[in-house]
A and B are shown apart, each in its own frame.
Chain A
Amino acid sequence: MFVAKSIAADHKDLIHDVSYDFHGRRMATCSSDQSVKVWDKGDDGEWHCTASWKTHSGSVWRVTWAHPEFGQVLASCSFDRTAAVWEEIVGESNDKQRGQSHWIKRTTLVDSRTSVTDVKFAPKHMGLMLTTCSADGVVRIYEAPDVMNLSQWSLQHEISCKLSCSCISWNPSSSRAHPPMIAVGSDDSNVTYSGKVQIYEYNENTRKYAKAETLMTVTDPVHDIAFAPNLGRSFHVLAIATKDVRIFKLIPMRRESANSSGATKFEVQVMAQFDSHNSQVWRVSWNITSTLLASSGDDGCVRLWKANYMDNWKCTGILRGDGSPVNGSSGHAVALNAVGVPGAAQMVVGAASAGRKKAQLMPG
Chain B
Amino acid sequence: MEELDVEPSTTLIPGVGFHQKHLGFEWGPGDLLVYETNYRLQGPRSASSPLVHIVRRDEDICSPILRKLFNESHLIFVGLQKLKEDVPSKNKKSQFVSVSKNYRSVIRACMEELQQNAVSTREGPLASQYGDQVSILLAIELIWNLCEVLFIDAAPAGSLLLLLLDWVRLHKSDVDTRAREVLQSESPALHQSYWDVVISLVLQGRTDEARQVLSKQASLRAESSSVFKRMDGLLQSMPIFNPAGTQTLTEFDVKWRHWHEECDRCLQDNTFASSRQLETICKILVGDEDTLLEQKELLSTWYHFLVTRLLFTHPTIKPPDLHYYAQSSMNMFLGPRASPEPLDIILLSAFEFDLHQVIKDCSIALNNWWFVAHLTDLLDHCKLLQSHNLHFGSNLREFLVLEYASGLFTHHSLWQLAVDYFDHCPEFGRVYLELQIERVPLDTERKAIKVLRICEDRQMSEQVRSICKIMAKRALRNNRLGSALSWSIRAKDAAFATLISERFLQDYSNKGSFTDLDLLDNLGPAMLLSDRLTFLGKYREFHRLYGEKRFSEAARLLLSLMTAKIAPRSLWMTLLTDALPLLEQKEVIFSVDQTYELMSCLEELNLDSKDSNQTDQDEDIESTKTELLRLALARNLAMAIVKEGTIET
Contact yes or no, A338 B11, CB < 8 A:
yes
Contact yes or no, A322 B13, CB < 8 A:
yes
Contact yes or no, B56 A27, CB < 8 A:
no
B426 to chain A, nearest CB (A): 12
Contact yes or no, A4 B56, CB < 8 A:
yes
On chain A, the number of residues with a Cβ less than 8 Å from chain B's Cβ atoms is 105
Contact yes or no, B441 A361, CB < 8 A:
no
Q: Is B139 an interface residue (CB 8 A)?
A: yes
A274 to chain B, nearest CB (A): 12
Q: SS class of chain A's interface: helix, strand, loop or mixed?
A: loop
Q: Is B24 an interface residue (CB 8 A)?
A: yes
- Kindly identify which residue among A1, A283, A319, A339 contacts B39, using a CB–CB cutoff of 8 Å: A283
Contact yes or no, A350 B342, CB < 8 A:
yes
Q: Which B residues are CB-close (under 8 A) to A323?
A: 16-18
Contact yes or no, B17 A231, CB < 8 A:
no
> Could you give, for residues 280-313 of chain A, a 1 whenever the CB lies within 8 Å of some chain B CB and a 0 otherwise?
0011011111010010111011111000111010
B610 to chain A, nearest CB (A): 29
Contact yes or no, B22 A296, CB < 8 A:
yes
A263 to chain B, nearest CB (A): 26
Contact yes or no, A285 B344, CB < 8 A:
no
Q: Which A residues are CB-close (under 8 A) to B125?
A: 343
Question: Which residue on chain B has the smallest CB distance to residue A336?
Answer: B12
> Could you give, for residues 139-159 of chain B, a 1 whenever the CB lies within 8 Å of some chain A CB and a 0 otherwise?
110100000000000000000
Q: Is A70 an interface residue (CB 8 A)?
A: yes
- Kindly identify which residue among B24, B135, B364, B395 contacts A361, using a CB–CB cutoff of 8 Å: B135
A13-B45, A317-B8 known; A232 vs B22 contact (CB < 8 Å): no
Contact yes or no, A289 B54, CB < 8 A:
no
Question: Which residue on chain B has the smallest CB distance to residue A14?
Answer: B46
Q: Is B6 an interface residue (CB 8 A)?
A: yes
A137-145, A205-213, A326-334: which lies at the interface:
A326-334
- Kindly identify which residue among A148, A355, A363, A364 contacts B364, using a CB–CB cutoff of 8 Å: A355
Question: Which residue on chain B has the smallest CB distance to residue A287?
Answer: B27
Q: Which A residues are CB-close (under 8 A) to B568?
A: none
Q: Is B7 an interface residue (CB 8 A)?
A: yes
A177 to chain B, nearest CB (A): 14
Contact yes or no, A23 B442, CB < 8 A:
yes
Q: Is B36 an interface residue (CB 8 A)?
A: yes
Q: Which A residues are CB-close (under 8 A) to B470?
A: 68-69
Q: Is B33 an interface residue (CB 8 A)?
A: yes
Contact yes or no, A358 B439, CB < 8 A:
no
A231-B432, A319-B32, A348-B342 known; A18 vs B24 contact (CB < 8 Å): yes
B57 to chain A, nearest CB (A): 5
Contact yes or no, B300 A3, CB < 8 A:
no
Q: Is A189 an interface residue (CB 8 A)?
A: no
Q: Which A residues are CB-close (under 8 A) to B365?
A: 347-349, 357, 359
Q: Which A residues are CB-close (under 8 A) to B479?
A: 90
In Å, the complex CA distance between A9 and B34 comes to 12
B contact residues vs A (CB 8 Å cutoff): 3-4, 6-39, 41, 43, 45-46, 48-57, 59, 125, 128-129, 131-133, 135-136, 138-140, 142, 171-172, 174, 300-301, 304, 341-345, 361, 364-367, 392, 395-396, 399, 403, 406, 427-428, 430-432, 435-436, 438-443, 462, 466, 469-470, 473-474, 477-479, 499
Per CB-CB distance, the 7 closest pairs between chain A and chain B, nearest first, are A321-B17, A321-B16, A24-B29, A345-B132, A354-B9, A282-B39, A326-B15
What are 6 of the A-B contact pairs (CB < 8 Å)? Answer: A1-B11, A14-B50, A232-B431, A316-B8, A325-B19, A336-B12
